[in-house]
């Protein structure tokens, strides 16, 4: 069975009765679980946002034996063909939608732009829920609270910022109050992006009065 997991550069085409919707490029990440797979959009297209399913299906020893393409009217059954070297996939429903996928030469990060549900656990001073808007351009990102904030920051204030690299973070900074100086500062922290690009987890750990404090921020794409 061919391993098709990873990132793919795609050209998606509407033809026949759907030709008015045109063709457009996309970047897809295929996640393989056993013989089942799902393709996730890493960048927004003119019809769909990042993090949305593009297709799903199943593999067998001969290649793709089941495939559904996700469209505005719901899943559409289609056929898929994997090249002999495993670096190209063609999908087609035989009537109106087809895709050509070439294995990407380098990894890029999911597009993080947009609104996220946020849960901030302060590690002993309460849990705060809000929505956060992330602006992500090139490899720089910043996230601001939209409505309420937390015990240290208010509405429209920046909570996180940093740099992305590949499928994750090169640098993550947490905007918090220094418990000794009682001043806001940007503290280096740890961060991960979920495999499907729809979740972010950030953790900050520090010592305070001989205790180990861990603060976390969990984000879920809306």
pLDDT in tens, 73-130: 999 999 999 998 899 999 999 999 999 999 987 778 899 999 999 999 999 889 999 9
pTM over 0.75: yes
Q: Which pLDDT band holds residue 18 (cuts at 50, 70, 90)?
A: very high
- How far is residue 214 from each of residues 80, 110, 177, 189, measured CA to CA in Å? 47, 26, 14, 11
Find the Cα–Cα–Cα–Cα dihedral 173, 123, 131, 156, rounded to 10°. -60
Closest CA relative to residue 96, chosen from 12, 11, 19: 19
Give, as one character, the DSSP assignment of residue 49: -
Instruction: Summarize the confidence of residues 131-154 as an average pLDDT.
Output: 95
Identify the pLDDT of residue 179.
74
Residue 167 has pLDDT above 90, yes or no: no
């Amino acid at each position: 069975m061919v391993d098709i997991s990873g990132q793919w550069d795609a050209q998606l085409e509407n033809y026949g009765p759907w030709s008015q919707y045109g063709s457009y490029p996309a970047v897809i990440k295929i996640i393989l679980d056993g013989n089942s797979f799902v393709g996730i959009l890493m960048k927004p297209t003119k019809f769909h946002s990042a993090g949305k399913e593009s297709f799903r299906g199943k593999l067998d020893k001969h290649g793709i034996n089941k495939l559904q393409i996700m469209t505005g009217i719901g899943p559409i059954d289609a056929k898929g063909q994997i090249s002999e070297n495993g670096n190209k996939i063609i999908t087609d429903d035989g009537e109106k939608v087809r895709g050509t996928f070439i294995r990407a030469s380098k990894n890029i990060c999911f597009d993080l732009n947009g609104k996220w549900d946020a849960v901030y656990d302060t590690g002993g001073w309460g849990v705060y829920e809000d929505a956060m808007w992330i602006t992500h351009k090139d490899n720089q990102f910043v996230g601001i609270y939209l409505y309420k904030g937390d015990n240290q920051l208010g509405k429209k204030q920046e909570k996180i910022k940093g740099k992305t690299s590949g499928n994750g973070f090169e640098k993550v900074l947490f905007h918090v109050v220094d418990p000794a100086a009682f001043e806001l500062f940007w503290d280096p922290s740890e961060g991960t992006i979920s495999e499907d690009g729809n979740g972010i987890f950030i953790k900050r750990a520090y010592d305070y009065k001989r205790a180990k404090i861990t603060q976390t921020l969990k984000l879920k794409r809306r």
